[in-house]
Structure 1
Amino acid sequence: MERLSPAVREQVRAEIAAAHGREVSFVARPDAHGRLVEARPVARGTVDAVLALPGIAQRGELLLHNHPSGALEPSGADLSVAARLHDGGVGFAIVDNDVTDCYVVVECPRPRATTRLDPFDVAGLLAPHGPVARALGGFEDRPSQRDMAAYIADAYNDGGVALLEAGTGVGKSFAYLAPALVWARENGERTIVSTNTINLQEQLVGKDLPILARALGTGEHSPSFALLKGWRNYLCLARLEQARDARGSLFEDERATELEALAAWAGQTSDGSLSDLPDEPAAEVWDAVAAESDLCTRLKCPHFEQCFLFQARRRAAEADVVVVNHHLLASDLAVRMASDNWQEAAVLPPYRRLVLDEAHHLEDVAAMHLGAQVSMLGVQRLLSRLEKNGRGLLPTLGAVLAGRDDLLSAASRDLVHQSLFDALGAARRAADALFALLARRLDAEPGPTPVLRLTDDFARDDVWAQGLDVALDNLLLGFSRLRDGVETIADRLSLDDPSERRAQLIAELRGVVRRLDAIAVGLTAALRPPAGVPAAVRWLERRGRKTPNVSLAAVPLDLAPILKDNLFDRVETVVLTSATLAAGGDFGYLEQRVGLDLPPSRVRAREIHASPFDFPAQCLFGIPTDLPEPRDDEPGHDAAVARVLVELAHASDGGMFVLFTSHGALRRAAEAVRGAIGGRWPLLVQGDGQRDQLLRRFREAGSAILLGTDSFWEGVDVPGRALRVLILAKLPFKVPSEPLTAARLERLEARGLNGFTHYLVPNAALKLKQGFGRLIRRTTDVGAVVLLDRRIVTKRYGQLILEGLPPASRVVGSWQDVRRACEEFFAGHGIEAALGAQG
């Protein structure tokens, strides 16, 4: 039998000819008879370089390469490569340059039959006397955890989508990780686990997966796992080296000192990621040394083998479970959509099994990654990479060229000084003019952080006549001139001196230009969208108190068809889980938002696994009905929040979270209560420190009061007596005028649906459930939740929201009734009031 089909034979022969007869490596796919019917070139050069490429071939494929000598006897390097590939289920073969002879060193393993998981066996792994319990020593039996694991095992067996809400205490991470690891052991297939928060990622990789790997490992198979982050999270050794060489032209003394500290850390860290640094460097320093996809020279880089990023990607390519965040998953999806690559590695290794934890964030994260965003500070920072105060890439390039006296270098030096610096100055002036006009336009909008939605009417806004049209054209022209000049110099220098240092400098310059091109696309999409493009939501906003930053965004309006076509219809098994997926017991809201309009046979499960905690005994839920409504009397409601906060602090002796829906309400409350509580309890206010620092201080104090907004409503875990009271200032409705929210409401109304009922209410229900879940985290936790928004019992929609909350003991009445109930509850659970508590 001919091992290569005629089409593959011709393709391989043509690629070898194009490489002037040198070695080329291909990944080929055999048919059922072992004949190679598809091939794609993957590397040029010696075959051992292929091993450095993560996820280069999948199980059942074959690596094919040529021997220019015509001798097909495998070399020592060939045999070493073949052995390593065989461990991953990949074959290996050699051909001559004419592709007339083919020698198969290792046959492709025949696709093995899928080994189905027994759901009862998988659930048994988490039983009281199972292997996980033995590995842990002490183990709390969680029947709902075993039920969830069994549902997920079924989804792995038959494919499809499983929607599994898991209340606090179910132990959902073990419930999805155990089936994933067993599936990998039995079928050699990885699972991608995507989360929204860093805390959960660290829990999975630092705690849960090591426990399960110990429990489920066998003599023949040790489960493997890896954490993979985005490019810019990793230090690039080549860029670090270049930045140190040119630090005099790149940085001032203080920043140069930070650079040297990074160099010292680089020699000690095994991870090489930003989160591993004891102190985060200045943004401009990290910008100069962070790994960048469009700057990376990959196999040509002298640091490739030691590269932190590619080490992480190689670990991910070989791992049974790869943990990522939703942002990286969305980036991978965007790359696959743009390149129509659904089989090979992209940002992530190829995958057919996906777990989405904290899945309620998927829509918003995907919207931002599949759209475009441009900020004033981002443009300024990028232009400063080229030159700022006599330092940057252009001065460095000028210094390199000044060291050569040939005509080509002299001409390039003239181009830098006469053209590129001029183009940079023009772009900088145009950017300043454009963002100044946009900032003045935002001044007409209300609030400290104004937002302006850019509808079709914006094309007729006065700001265009004031010069926005000219400023935008000038900025795009400046970017174009910079691109043309950099490309001209890069082409000249690539021919004249292909040295490694110069190649890296050229890559840096080209990388900046590619980003300028991306900014140009974003500016056009937001300010001057071309006709015929899919509907997008566009807006302009200014954020930041210390350094105000004007930014623009254009994101897809309807994510449902995008996610359905490119994720849920393509990935064999998808598990969506969270403590908050169902609004009022119904998954319909989530399904509509993220594109789960699928055939019934494709949705394997819709299950709510309730929390195992004894909420009636552990938690009191108070709803005062005599406080002003926040919508009708904001000052009155603010005063009531402050009064309740102080009185409850006396009743519980602190130990309190107070969650708000806006920064303004938070600041007003902080100002109102500072004097009333004096120094009696530590008052921790969001914005006065990093989130993790505030939480650490809260845990350590034991009686602190923490005021927070959006980022504290979820992903916060404070078990024990440090947190015993949770005040929710109001129902967490989205602001209807926010651009994305307004556009989504309009779209529902255009379809004849009530936007409040179909979007705002279920969204608030999920958010409230997240906030409520901050209090009771363990079976030993006790405390009170007080919601200072009577609409939950006076409005018809309130019942739907209440139905989704845990079944805590509930008291509804006047504030004095609720306060007395809280005091009795605290006394019954040994929570003592502060000395001298108010009567």
Structure 2
Amino acid sequence: MPRIYVALDIEATGMDPERDEIIEVAAVKFRDEQVLERFETLVQPRRPLPLAVSSLTGLTMRDLRRAPTFAQVAPRLRQFVRNHPIVGQSPDYDLQMLAAQGLELRNPVYDTFRLATILLPDLPAYSLASIAARLGISVAQQHRAMADVETTMAVFLGLCDLLREYDLETLRRLADYTAQAGLPESDVFEAIYRELAEQGIGALGGALAERLRSTVPGVSHAAELVFLLPRERPPRLEPTGEAPVIDPQWVAGLYSPDGPFAVTLSNYEFRAGQVAMAEAVTRAFNEGGQLLVEAGTGTGKSLAYLLPAILHAVERGETVVVSTETLALQDQLYAKDLPLLRRALEAAAERDSRLARAARFRATVLKGRANYLCLRRWFLRQREPFQSRAEALLAAKITAWLPQTETGDRAELHLSNEEQLAWAQVAESEGACVPNRCLFHRRNQCFLYRARATAEGAHIVIVNHALLLSDLLAESRVLPPYRYLVVDEAHHLVEEATQQFGFQVTHDDVRELIRRTLGVDHVGRFVGALGELWTGLAAVPEARARALAQELGEKLTEWWPRVEALQQQAETLFLSLGDIAQRHPVENGGYDRQIRITEALRHETAWMTVEEIGQSLTTHLRTVVTALHWASLRLEELPESVRDELSELMTELDVLERRAREMHERLQEVLFQPRAERVYWLSWRPQPPAVSLNMAPLEVASLLNELLFSRLETCVLTSATLTVDRSFGYIRQQLGLADADELVVDSPFDYATSTLLCLAEDVAEPGEPGYQRQVSEALINLLRVTRGRALVLFTSHSALQAAYRAIKRPLEQEGILVLGQRLDGSPRQLVERLKARPETVVLGTNAVWEGVDVPGEALSVLVIVKLPFAVPSDPVFAARCEAYADPFHEYAVPQAVLRFKQGFGRLIRSTRDYGVCVVLDRRIVTRRYGQLFVQSLPPCTVRRTSIVQIPRLAQEWLTRHQERLAASTAATEGR
């Protein structure tokens, strides 16, 4: 590429172009790998440097006081950049900052972040350093302008080299799709396409294409060529026909101080609780039935159930399914725990034939069908024009990714929220496939069914709760047959069942159905499946096909006005529902609202209008069902050769008919025929505007028993939080497990010695005058003396924002960084910053109450601002409360206690950890139910005290443990 580029980067006092200032600018002018010129300068700001920026960049006001002002820098920078294309990592921010300070650059701009999301789909993160590492580029320093510019230049050149490995047809499509998306990077794809074409490289370029050239001559697009070739089906797991009883004591011995784990694994610690759990799980696999296990933090519950599961699965040749809630635990099980187990089993294989067999276990991760690309829908979708920038950009990402992927899993792609929505158009979905008609399924190319076939050959199949439950409703179309199940993070099972056994209908759902079924383009031609069918039939020379084409054309003219009316009525219906939602304010609802559809609401005049619109809408929706059914029946009358030619469209018609029937049934139920055992509600969001109709079952215990538990031989359910005051009563009732065995395994951590629990007695109750001020003052006073090292948990984002505004400046003036979830980054990003700089406070909401793991002194203080009760106006919560004689004590309190225990579990993550947990909700002291919260925790050192005394108590506790730890370390080093 002979063109000259300028890599550009700035550092600034913040992210707001209206308020923040530039403090450093750097640029490099380059052609290919040759650096032509450099530009670098600090810039003097008018206001002090924020702590967060200083901690990231290492710059101080002393460095900046003698620097030129931006007004002095701007003319030199403009002269340097001239009209050359600008290369940057997410450069929109840099350009906005420059423009806000008077330098507006209108050059072409190429974003290395955006290019990387297309060309490196497998990266877990897309920071400049992550992209550089993937390309083998060393990064000496980050968050300084010149270092980032040099890295950006190297990354851009590396990404261009990657592009040269694609075949010309793929490059052509990438250039076209990115151009349709309005991306300037299309110029880069176009330039490299022309470069390769001018060099005389053939239609198939790149390593993959070269391997395939001789297989199917004449095919130009490597990504498509891959899927024209049949693939071998993975072997299935064959039952051994044996059912040996595995001795629990023998299993326990494997965890002993001289067992294979201790011999093989570094840092292995013998834990009696882990052994007790492993023995109980082994007995459950031997004898059948259900087992509830609460395993305290640090038990090592994953290894406690995985080893018995593997031994059982291998000896019997049967699959054991392990279900989790979070992606983090799925990754831990598959990428960390199972490889550790295999190493331990292999090391002990010579001594025991059973362990030698177990070491050969096979495992896989299986996800819900919506995670997998549907090749039929993908190639069908390419025939239609893109309706949005997100659809075109998604097409570019899939095009670049297809030659690389083995799984077709969207987790391998970096997708924005808009692209995630567009993914639904090309993803596998329930009822969207007729396998015996699908070309890709017949050739074993279908990603979903290859994943399922791999699972059929695995001893351990790791899934999430969403797939476990949705597959029950789909009659096991994804998961292989199984009789043995382990449910980890089982405290989430009721919540997930509530979602999976319910449904939602949105305006987008109706629009998508209409778009895929029948529409008219800008020149008046019929489009959608029925329109394409008409065009396809007309192109077939067979007489019956042409006759059907003529008949279908007449039908389309008859159906189109009704489909158009359906579209208009859907618009009117969801606007009316939005009006209803806005007229019903909800307690603690903020801008987003959930309005329960009660009998009282159904008698309002506004709802009667909704019903009138709904009657007309569902009538026209029946027309769509009839039209699709008619077309499918008539196609069956055609010769087989014609049906083979139109097989993709026939599958699409079947899918759309099922979708239309399902949508009709759901709308009928919500609007006109509600069922007593279900709850219905409206969800409304103002920006972007969105309304949905929702249903959930009032209780899930009977459904879980009917669909899941009754079909299993053994089910083990475990979590760190299943009991309330050491009783499984609440979770038994929620899950319908009256006869399950139970085991409580206490944490091996010494909470009484390591953890101080401070309960504020004199803070105002939530909602009382002065509450927010007292909370903010308490946080400032506490976190000042502890120098941060803290995680503060809130139950709403509005409360988090209020505290953030109140405490940020006072604490940062003393060198304590304050970071807020969604304000300064994602939970993962904030936790990483806390680990890197302990003098930090992280404020978090729902996503931070569990799953956060910060061992060591970086997290020494945990503050629970408010007891985590559900919002009373939540439709499902409110409806379920009506089933109890005393809903608060029987339902609301136990639910909150389990959530409270999850939050508390963030503090102590290892045997060396110590810390202080502060609860700023006096109800834990003043209300009788407050005792349940405290008694459900491990036995800590508890202090009921005033908020004034909490900082002193915390400081003394932390200082004493720091001195003890320092003395212990010194003694160890002395020996």
Does the 8 A contact of 1:494 with 1:503 survive in 2? no
How do residues 403-442 of structure 1 correspond to structure 2 at under 5 angstroms? 403=539, 406-416=546-556, 418-442=557-581
Does the 8 A contact of 2:253 with 2:259 survive in 1? yes
Does the 8 A contact of 1:372 with 1:525 survive in 2? no
Shift in alpha-carbon separation, 1:139–1:550, aligned structure 2, 3 A: same
Shift in alpha-carbon separation, 1:169–1:564, aligned structure 2, 3 A: same
Partner of 1:285: 422
Q: 2:875 aligns with which of 739, 743, 749?
A: 739
Does the 8 A contact of 1:228 with 1:316 survive in 2? yes
Shift in alpha-carbon separation, 1:377–1:812, aligned structure 2, 3 A: farther
Give CA deviations for 1:797-820 in whole Å, capped at 9, x if unaligned.
111221111222222211121110
Secondary structure of the 1:812 match is strand
How far did 1:231 drift? 0.6
Partner of 1:115: 244
How do residues 592-741 of structure 1 correspond to structure 2 at under 5 angstroms? 592-598=733-739, 603=740, 605-631=741-767, 633=768, 635-678=769-812, 680-688=815-823, 689-741=825-877
Does the 8 A contact of 2:827 with 2:844 survive in 1? no
Partner of 1:511: 655
How far did 1:414 drift? 4.3
Q: 1:360 aligns with which of 474, 491, 496?
A: 491
How far did 1:610 drift? 1.0
Q: Give the TM-score normalised by the residue count of structure 1.
A: 0.79
Partner of 2:683: 541
How do residues 777-792 of structure 1 correspond to structure 2 at under 5 angstroms? 777-792=909-924
- Sequence identity of aligned pairs in percent? 38
Is 1:817 paired with 2:949? Answer: yes
Shift in alpha-carbon separation, 1:727–1:83, aligned structure 2, 3 A: closer
Does the 8 A contact of 2:628 with 2:656 survive in 1? no
For residues 238 and 580 of structure 1, what CA distance do their matches in structure 2 show? 43
Does the 8 A contact of 1:681 with 1:705 survive in 2? yes
Is 1:230 paired with 2:230? Answer: no
How far did 1:529 drift? 2.0
More displaced 10-residue stretch of structure 1: 419-428 or 154-163: 419-428
**What letter is aligned with 2:502?**
G
Does the 8 A contact of 1:624 with 1:815 survive in 2? yes
Partner of 1:10: none
For residues 254 and 153 of structure 1, what CA distance do their matches in structure 2 show? 50
More displaced 10-residue stretch of structure 1: 546-555 or 291-300: 291-300
For residues 622 and 258 of structure 1, what CA distance do their matches in structure 2 show? 51
Shift in alpha-carbon separation, 1:676–1:595, aligned structure 2, 3 A: same
For residues 592 and 433 of structure 1, what CA distance do their matches in structure 2 show? 42
Give CA deviations for 1:668-727 in whole Å, capped at 9, x if unaligned.
222333443457444433334444444444444444332222222112222233322211
Secondary structure of the 2:439 match is coil
Which is bigger in relative contact order (C-alpha 8 A, separation at least 6)?
A: 1
Does the 8 A contact of 1:627 with 1:788 survive in 2? yes
Secondary structure of the 1:789 match is coil
For residues 327 and 963 of structure 2, what CA distance do their matches in structure 1 show? 33
How far did 1:311 drift? 1.6
Does the 8 A contact of 1:522 with 1:553 survive in 2? no
For residues 286 and 556 of structure 1, what CA distance do their matches in structure 2 show? 28
Secondary structure of the 2:341 match is helix
Shift in alpha-carbon separation, 1:699–1:397, aligned structure 2, 3 A: farther
Give CA deviations for 1:54-78 in whole Å, capped at 9, x if unaligned.
xxxxxxxxxxxxxxxxxxxxxxxxx
Q: 2:265 aligns with which of 123, 136, 147?
A: 136
Partner of 2:138: none
For residues 421 and 562 of structure 2, what CA distance do their matches in structure 1 show? 22
How far did 1:188 drift? 1.8
How far did 1:326 drift? 1.1
Secondary structure of the 1:272 match is coil
**What letter is aligned with 1:812?**
R
Shift in alpha-carbon separation, 1:291–1:566, aligned structure 2, 3 A: closer
Partner of 1:551: 692
Partner of 2:238: 88
How far did 1:172 drift? 0.6
How far did 1:495 drift? 4.5
CA RMSD across the alignment: 2.8
Q: 2:433 aligns with which of 285, 296, 302?
A: 296
Q: Give the TM-score normalised by the residue count of structure 2.
A: 0.68
How far did 1:354 drift? 1.1
Does the 8 A contact of 2:295 with 2:746 survive in 1? yes
Is 1:322 paired with 2:461? Answer: yes
Secondary structure of the 1:824 match is helix
Secondary structure of the 2:364 match is strand
Shift in alpha-carbon separation, 1:792–1:388, aligned structure 2, 3 A: farther
> What stretches of structure 2 of length at least 5 have no aligned partner?
1-231, 347-354, 965-975
Give CA deviations for 1:749-769 in whole Å, capped at 9, x if unaligned.
2xxxx2111111111111110
Is 1:588 paired with 2:720? Answer: no
Shift in alpha-carbon separation, 1:261–1:372, aligned structure 2, 3 A: closer
Shift in alpha-carbon separation, 1:472–1:349, aligned structure 2, 3 A: same
Shift in alpha-carbon separation, 1:163–1:527, aligned structure 2, 3 A: same
How far did 1:181 drift? 0.3
Does the 8 A contact of 2:364 with 2:462 survive in 1? yes
Does the 8 A contact of 2:285 with 2:312 survive in 1? yes
Is 1:311 paired with 2:450? Answer: yes
Q: 2:584 aligns with which of 445, 450, 469?
A: 445
Give CA deviations for 1:564-618 in whole Å, capped at 9, x if unaligned.
33333331111111011000111011111111123xxxx3x32211111122333
Does the 8 A contact of 2:369 with 2:478 survive in 1? no
Secondary structure of the 2:425 match is helix
**What letter is aligned with 1:502?**
L
Secondary structure of the 1:612 match is coil
For residues 680 and 495 of structure 2, what CA distance do their matches in structure 1 show? 14
Shift in alpha-carbon separation, 1:428–1:694, aligned structure 2, 3 A: farther
Is 1:216 paired with 2:345? Answer: yes
How far did 1:253 drift? 6.3
Q: 1:454 aligns with which of 572, 597, 600?
A: 597
Does the 8 A contact of 1:152 with 1:179 survive in 2? yes
Does the 8 A contact of 2:724 with 2:898 survive in 1? yes
Secondary structure of the 2:882 match is helix
**What letter is aligned with 1:523?**
L
More displaced 10-residue stretch of structure 1: 614-623 or 228-237: 614-623
For residues 634 and 780 of structure 2, what CA distance do their matches in structure 1 show? 71
Shift in alpha-carbon separation, 1:827–1:616, aligned structure 2, 3 A: same
Is 1:471 paired with 2:613? Answer: yes
Shift in alpha-carbon separation, 1:195–1:573, aligned structure 2, 3 A: same
How do residues 330-341 of structure 1 correspond to structure 2 at under 5 angstroms? 330-336=469-475
Shift in alpha-carbon separation, 1:385–1:358, aligned structure 2, 3 A: same
Secondary structure of the 1:580 match is coil
Shift in alpha-carbon separation, 1:570–1:534, aligned structure 2, 3 A: farther
Secondary structure of the 1:121 match is helix
Does the 8 A contact of 1:240 with 1:263 survive in 2? no
For residues 390 and 678 of structure 2, what CA distance do their matches in structure 1 show? 43
More displaced 10-residue stretch of structure 1: 383-392 or 250-259: 383-392
Number of corresponding residues: 704
**What letter is aligned with 1:408?**
L
For residues 694 and 286 of structure 1, what CA distance do their matches in structure 2 show? 28
